[in-house]
């Protein structure tokens, strides 16, 4: 196994699999978040389930955290290796736009923006949640006799144009990252055949629709409290 993970193909497959796992997580995260626009009660119930279920908290959450860290660390390692591979002297003129998309050549930039966003997102939601549940020991999910999840989410965006703006900006970069990354993952695991064209259409639609959906949720909660 050690031999496999050291090879360039193993590294790209590892990046692809961790990326695909994170894409599945995004879809799941979006499914729950969109209920905050449609039905606050449903959002509260699903959030409470995800926040207190042993399987989700004890197994899926650690795997998710590992997946996120692995994807970023491996991404940076690959970037360093790739820069070294060009040699000590780079091109004075490199016309990347002639043969590839901006998104595919700048996964590092979109990735760093998403990483910075995750810092803000963890500060906003994950750290307070972990503090309440595992440090203060309050697993009830209640505040003043009602579920607290919906109110906690909404109050982050209500009357805060800067936070809303930062979230929307991050989601734009998430589009950039997914536009290349999602379809690229299938090529990395060796999936390139007659179905690839249709798959690429789906991945591009997903890359645009899901982040725009997240942006819509943030803007909705901001606008509805103006």
Q: How far is the CB of 24 from other proteins (least distance, A)?
A: 20
Q: By C-beta, is 85 or 226 nearer to other proteins?
A: 85
Q: How far is the CB of 112 from other proteins (least distance, A)?
A: 15
Q: How far apart are the first and last CA of the chain?
A: 56
Q: By C-beta, is 19 or 141 nearer to other proteins?
A: 19
Q: By C-beta, is 18 or 47 nearer to other proteins?
A: 18
Q: How far is the CB of 7 from other proteins (least distance, A)?
A: 6
Whether residue 202 contacts residue 40, with contact meaning beta carbons closer than 8 Å, is answered with no
Q: How far is the CB of 86 from other proteins (least distance, A)?
A: 5
The residues binding other proteins (CB under 8 A) are 3-4, 6-13, 78, 81-82, 84-96, 98-101, 104-105, 107, 180, 184, 187-193
C-alpha distances in Å from residue 133, one per residue of 37, 42, 89, 127, 142: 25, 21, 53, 10, 11
Q: How far is the CB of 70 from other proteins (least distance, A)?
A: 15
Q: By C-beta, is 132 or 184 nearer to other proteins?
A: 184
Q: By C-beta, is 99 or 144 nearer to other proteins?
A: 99
């Amino acid at each position: 196994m050690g031999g496999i993970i050291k090879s360039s193909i193993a590294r790209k497959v590892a990046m692809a699999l961790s990326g695909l796992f994170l894409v599945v997580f995004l879809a799941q995260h979006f499914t729950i978040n969109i209920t905050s626009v449609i039905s606050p009660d449903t959002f509260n119930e699903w959030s409470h389930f995800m926040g207190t279920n042993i399987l989700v908290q004890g197994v899926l959450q650690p795997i998710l955290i590992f997946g996120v860290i692995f994807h970023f660390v491996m991404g940076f390692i690959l970037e360093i290796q790739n820069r070294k591979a060009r040699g000590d002297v780079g091109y004075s003129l490199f016309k990347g736009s002639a043969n590839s998309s901006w998104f595919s050549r700048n996964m590092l930039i979109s990735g760093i923006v998403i990483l910075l966003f995750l810092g803000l997102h963890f500060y906003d939601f994950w750290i307070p949640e972990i503090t309440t549940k595992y440090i203060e020991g309050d697993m009830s999910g209640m505040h003043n006799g009602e579920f607290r999840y919906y109110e906690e989410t909404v109050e982050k965006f209500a009357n805060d144009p800067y936070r809303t703006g930062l979230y929307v900006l991050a989601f734009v970069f998430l589009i950039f990252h997914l536009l290349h990354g999602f379809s690229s993952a299938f090529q990395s695991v060796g999936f390139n055949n007659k179905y690839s064209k249709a798959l690429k259409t789906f991945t591009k639609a997903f890359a645009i629709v899901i982040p725009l959906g997240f942006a819509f949720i943030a803007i909705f909660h901001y606008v509805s409290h103006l």
